[in-house]
Amino acid sequence: MPKLFHLSCSPRADSESGAGARVFIDRFRQARPDWEIDVMNLWRDHLPDFEGYILEAKYSRLGGRAFTDSQRDAFAIAERIAVRFALAERVLISTPMWNFGIPYKLKQWIDVITQPGLTFRFDPAQGYFPLLKDRPTVVIIASGSDFVIVTGAWTNMSIEHTARTGADKGFYMVVPEDCCSTMNAEWHIAAVNYAIQNVAMVTRADDLIAALS
C-alpha cells in the first residue's frame, strides 16, 4: 500500500500548522482513499537524543569500524525512524516557526535520521551521496508574522509564484534580489524589475539586514 508520511512538529493540538495539515490530509484522503497515512508526532513518538552511543555509532560507521553492542542497539533505533520516512511515496511536514527557525524537535529528528548508510553515503574520493529517493514533499509552515522574505532559485518561476501567492493571502512579501537566481541574467532582471514589483517589495540583502537590525 502506498504511503503518505506526515511529520507533525507542533506540540500544540490546536496549532495553525496542524490545522493546515488536517485540511491537506482530508483532501488527500478524498483523492487517494487507498493510501496509508503514517503520522509521526515529534512530541509524542519516541525520538532519541543525538548523543552517546548513537553519536558514537555514526562516527564508527564513517570510520569503517564495527559497532559495539551498545552502538548497534542505538543505531537500530535511528534506522527504524529513518526507514519509516524513507518508505513513503509522499511526505508532508507541518511545523511552526520558533524564533525565526524550526522547532528543536524537528532539528533533532533531522540529526537522528542523517546517518551514513541510511540517508547518505560517503566516498572519500567523491564526497557525499544521497540515499533517499526523490518524492513530492509538502511543507506547511505557520508563523505569527505577516512579513515574509522570499529567497532561492528560479527568480522568474518559484520566487515570483511564491511572492504572488503570499501577497494574494495578505502577507507583506519581500524579495532581496541578490538572494535569488535563475537560468540567466535576462530572466532574473525581468522578474525583479517587472512581475515581482507588483506583488512584493524588491530590495537587497544588505538593506534588508540593516532594516531588520
Helix ranges restricted to H, 11-144? 16-31, 52-62, 69-86, 104-113
Q: pLDDT band for position 20 (50/70/90)?
A: very high
| Alpha carbon distance 88, 98 (integer Å) | 27
Cα–Cα separations (whole angstroms), residue 71 to 78, 111, 116, 149, 173: 11, 16, 14, 42, 47
**Mean pLDDT confidence for 122-141:** 89
Q: Which CATH superfamily is domain 3-141 in?
A: Flavodoxin domain (3.40.50.360)
CATH code, 145-212: 3.40.50.850
The percentage of the chain sitting over the pLDDT mark of 90, rounded to a whole number, equals 64
| Alpha carbon distance 188, 110 (integer Å) | 33
pLDDT at 144 over 80: no
Q: Do residues 85 and 91 touch, judged by C-beta distance below 8 A? A: yes
Per-domain residue ranges of the chain:
3-141, 145-212
Q: Is 174 helix (H, G, I), strand (E, B) or coil?
A: strand
Judge if pTM exceeds 0.95.
no
Average pLDDT over the chain, rounded to whole? Answer: 91
Among the listed residues 87, 93, 78, the one whose alpha carbon sits nearest the alpha carbon of residue 36: 87
Q: What is the pLDDT of residue 89?
A: 96
pLDDT at 213 over 80: no
**Mean pLDDT confidence for 30-54:** 94
Report the range of poorest mean pLDDT among 24-28, 30-34, 203-207. Answer: 203-207
**Mean pLDDT confidence for 127-146:** 87
Report the range of poorest mean pLDDT among 48-52, 71-75, 166-170, 194-198. Answer: 166-170
Q: What is the pLDDT of residue 166?
A: 85
All 3 cell numbers of residue 79? 534506522
Q: What is the pLDDT of residues 166-203, one digit of tens each?
A: 888 778 899 999 999 999 999 999 999 998 999 999 99
Q: Collect contacts of 168-173 with beta carbons under 8 A, ≥24 apart.
A: 168/199, 170/146, 171/146, 171/147, 172/146, 172/147, 172/148, 172/201, 173/148, 173/199, 173/200, 173/201
